[in-house]
């Protein structure tokens, strides 16, 4: 056959490296970072108040949650490389709707982008669990954060500035990054990942793998940590800018604050090394405890708007730390035969937080001013601090006898 005479590099994909996954994560961050501070302003400008904005984000979260839980089922019918490609195409559709910016196009753009994010997240995590061994999961997470640092640092501020210059501009720039992401994915030739299945295993459905998830307490705890962390980011990204507008600080403060905070992502590899010294349990507890206390302090100091903003910025530093270490309790507990399914369950943390946060904020705003949302988030973070005390003390530490990470 002709393929016998082709160079090996053209007939077989090389084994993906941690840096390859980090590159894809960085490009995805460029897409999301451009819009993370812009979309709340776009929706708020279109609807005019915080409660209506909460309802739109609430509906978008429900759509993304249902969509994300169906991704593993879809990958049984559609190769993973095409599922990932479909996620990027959803990004392009969302950017087109956002650039139109009229009528229902803004809420539809929000939903399309949320569906794209969860699809790409599920597929990328499945690839990582296929090719990165458990002992290197921490390094993989921190490397992804470092590659995404520039996008998360410059994107929020740039997106808001471009939006004020010309409303469609941030969507066009984000669409360009989405196109680059698609090309990069196909150049890396990740294929469909490793196919590890049990003998005569039937195709699973969402209800079946949710049952297996709920039977594993460590997975439940790890997922809950991710949900709480994401709720903290939702409050910081969506409600802090609205607080700044209503407090008379302007509509650019939120984007600038997020950009300054995300500069800490450059220190993600150093944070990962620190975690190895402290253990995952100590690191997670420390971050949740301080972050929750600062959220509550921000709510109590809201009569001094700048003080509240500074408190929230300080809290967000520990949210960044949780981005590095908060996912490890879940990822270190996943069975190899359940990678795709549990990646979908794990990815649902973003969608669940996208439902819980605006839903809870909508209720809180009926009885309290906006800083009440900060207080509610702080109490949730402190609850995770309490639960994290039940993690195994040696989780994530190296076992000298085996050279691997404690699971």
**How confident is the prediction along the chain (407 residues), in pLDDT tens digits per residue?**
444 443 444 444 567 788 888 999 999 999 998 998 888 888 888 877 777 888 888 888 888 888 887 887 787 788 889 999 999 999 999 999 999 877 688 889 999 999 999 899 888 888 887 887 766 776 787 788 778 888 888 888 889 889 988 989 999 999 999 999 999 999 988 766 555 444 344 445 555 667 777 777 778 888 888 899 999 998 998 889 889 888 888 777 877 887 788 777 777 677 767 766 777 778 888 989 999 999 999 999 999 999 999 999 999 888 888 887 777 777 777 776 666 667 667 777 877 887 888 889 889 988 889 999 999 999 999 999 998 887 766 655 555 444 444 44
Domains of the chain: 17-194+205-399 (1.20.1250.20)
C-alpha 24/C-alpha 403 separation (Å) is 29
Beta-carbon count within 10 A of 17 CB = 14
Alpha helix segments (H runs only) across 215-304? 217-234, 240-246, 253-262, 268-278, 280-300
pLDDT at position 395 is 59
Q: What is the dihedral of CA 376, 377, 382, 385, to 10 degrees?
A: 150
Roughly how many angstroms between the first and final C-alpha of the chain, as a whole number?
46
Ramachandran assignment for 193, one of left (phi > 0), alpha (psi -120 to 50 degrees), beta (any other): left
pLDDT at position 104 is 80
C-alpha 321/C-alpha 24 separation (Å) is 21
pLDDT at position 374 is 95
Place of tokens 């407090």: 247
Task: Give the DSSP letter string of 287-341.
Answer: HHHHHHHHHHHHHHTTTSHHHHHHHHHHHHHHHHHHHHHTTHHHHTT--GGGHHH
Taking CA atoms, 157 is separated from 9, 109, 154, 334, 350, in Å, by: 41, 20, 6, 37, 22
pLDDT at position 12 is 44
Residue 189 makes CB contacts below 8 A (sequence gap 6+) with 13, 14
C-alpha 1/C-alpha 196 separation (Å) is 29
Residue 119 makes CB contacts below 8 A (sequence gap 6+) with 67, 68, 71, 83, 84, 86, 87, 90
Contact 90, 113 (CB under 8 A): yes
pLDDT at position 83 is 92
pLDDT at position 276 is 64
């Amino acid at each position: 056959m002709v393929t016998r005479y082709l160079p090996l590099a053209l007939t077989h994909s090389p084994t993906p490296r941690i840096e390859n996954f980090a590159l894809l994560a960085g490009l995805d961050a460029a897409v999301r970072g451009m819009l993370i501070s812009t979309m709340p302003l776009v929706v708020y400008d279109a609807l005019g108040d915080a409660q209506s904005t909460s309802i739109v984000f609430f509906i978008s979260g429900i759509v993304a949650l249902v969509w994300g839980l169906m991704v593993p089922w879809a990958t049984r019918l559609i190769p993973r490389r095409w599922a990932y490609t479909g996620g990027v195409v959803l990004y392009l559709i969302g950017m087109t709707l956002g650039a139109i910016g009229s009528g229902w196009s803004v809420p539809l753009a929000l939903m399309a982008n949320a569906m794209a994010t969860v699809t790409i997240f599920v597929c990328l995590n499945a690839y990582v669990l296929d090719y990165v061994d458990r002992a290197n999961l921490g390094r993989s997470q921190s490397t992804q954060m470092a590659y995404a640092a520039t996008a998360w640092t410059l994107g929020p501020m740039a997106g808001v500035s471009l939006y004020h210059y010309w409303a469609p501009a941030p969507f066009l720039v984000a669409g360009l990054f989405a196109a680059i992401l698609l090309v990069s994915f196909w150049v890396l030739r990740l294929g469909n990942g490793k196919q590890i299945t049990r003998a005569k295993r039937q195709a699973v459905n969402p209800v079946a793998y949710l049952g297996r998830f709920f039977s594993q307490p460590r997975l439940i705890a790890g997922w809950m940590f991710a949900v709480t962390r994401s709720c903290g980011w939702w409050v910081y990204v969506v409600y802090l800018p609205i607080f700044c507008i209503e407090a008379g600080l302007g509509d650019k403060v939120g984007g600038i604050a997020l950009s300054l905070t995300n500069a800490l992502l450059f220190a993600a590899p150093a944070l990962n090394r620190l975690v190895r010294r402290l253990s995952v349990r100590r690191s997670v507890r420390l971050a949740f405890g301080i972050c929750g206390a600062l959220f509550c302090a921000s709510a109590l100091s809201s009569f001094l708007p700048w003080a509240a903003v500074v408190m929230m910025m300080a809290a967000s530093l520990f949210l960044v730390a949780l981005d590095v270490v908060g996912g490890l309790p879940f990822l270190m507990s996943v069975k190899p035969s359940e990678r795709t399914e549990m990646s979908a369950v794990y990815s649902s943390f973003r969608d669940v937080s996208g439902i819980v946060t605006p839903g809870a904020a909508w209720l809180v705003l009926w009885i309290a001013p906006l800083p009440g949302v900060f207080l509610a988030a702080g109490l949730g973070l402190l609850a995770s601090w309490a639960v994290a005390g039940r993690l195994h003390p040696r989780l994530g530490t190296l076992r000298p006898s085996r050279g691997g990470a404690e699971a």
